Amino acid sequence: MVKKPTPDSTRRSEKSRRAIYDAALTLVGEVGYPKTTIEGIAARAGVGKQTIYRWWSSKADVLLEAFLDLGEQAAEQAAGQGGEPGAEYAIPDTGDLAADLKYVLRATVDELLDPKFEAPSRALAAEGVVNEQLGREFVTKLLEPQLRLYVQRLRSAQEVGQVRPGIDPRIALELFVSPLAQRWLQRTAPISYEYTDTLVDYALHGLAPR
């Protein structure tokens, strides 16, 4: 086994890292993921290829970190502008579960339709489908943290009797989250506020007559 000399991260150039994130996200947006090349990212970032290969193992890896960084930046910005830090990532708890879920799903719809996020997140999702290692990172670092918020909200609803006690929240949340995700990813049908509202209604009250 050949040893990689383990680069010294204290010496790492912050400027280059930022430039690489920017270039990667921009290029994926402009020309699409498959036509985004490491050479292209390096050129656009004004960086040597080796600087990319030194710190990341693949194009997908660069993009994943760039995307995570994008999220952190957005979070910091939001946190800076007011409210408790991290608060905007919680699901509201007004006491009305249906309303709260509809609200947050509508926000998700907005985000999914935001062209700035679309290309990179599609690319990552696609890569994750086929590349197990990247897929697991994608899920643990991006997806699960989001889903945990739903678990919390559903548990809190269970406590006040708005959700039946036996229900497993981790499965329950999929009834409305997964359909939205799949419509977006696979373009089986357009997504809209009306659609997500309907999902919440169906999920809460069931398909069968009561």
Residues that bind a second copy (CB under 8 A): 32-34, 97, 122-123, 125-132, 135-136, 138-139, 143-144, 147, 154, 161-164, 167-168, 170-172, 174-175, 178-179, 181-183, 185-189, 195, 198-199, 202-210
CB-nearer residue toward a second copy: 79 or 126: 126
Q: Does 12 bind DNA (CB under 7 A)?
A: yes
* Structure token digits, residue 20: 């690489």
* 124 vs 67: CA distance, rounded Å: 9
Binding test (CB under 7 A) with DNA, winner from 1, 10, 77, 94: 10
* 77 vs 56: CA distance, rounded Å: 26
Query: Which residue is associated with the tokens 């050129």?
Result: 43
Residue 122 contact partner, candidates DNA, a second copy, none, CB within 5 to 8 A by sort of partner: a second copy
Residue 189 contact partner, candidates a second copy, DNA, none, CB within 5 to 8 A by sort of partner: a second copy
DSSP annotation of 164 reads: -
CB 36 within 8 A of CB 27: yes
* 96 vs 162: CA distance, rounded Å: 8
CB 169 within 8 A of CB 150: yes
* Structure token digits, residue 21: 């994130």
Binding-residue pattern over the window 32 to 71 for DNA, x denoting contact by CB under 7 A:
---x-xxxx-----xxxxxx-xxx--xx------------
Q: Does 133 bind DNA (CB under 7 A)?
A: no
> What contacts 70, CB < 8 A, 6 or more positions away?
21, 25, 120
Nearest distance from residue 117's CB to DNA, in Å? 23
Nearest distance from residue 158's CB to a second copy, in Å? 9
Positions touching DNA (CB under 7 A) are 5-8, 10-13, 15-16, 19, 35, 37-40, 46-51, 53-55, 58-59
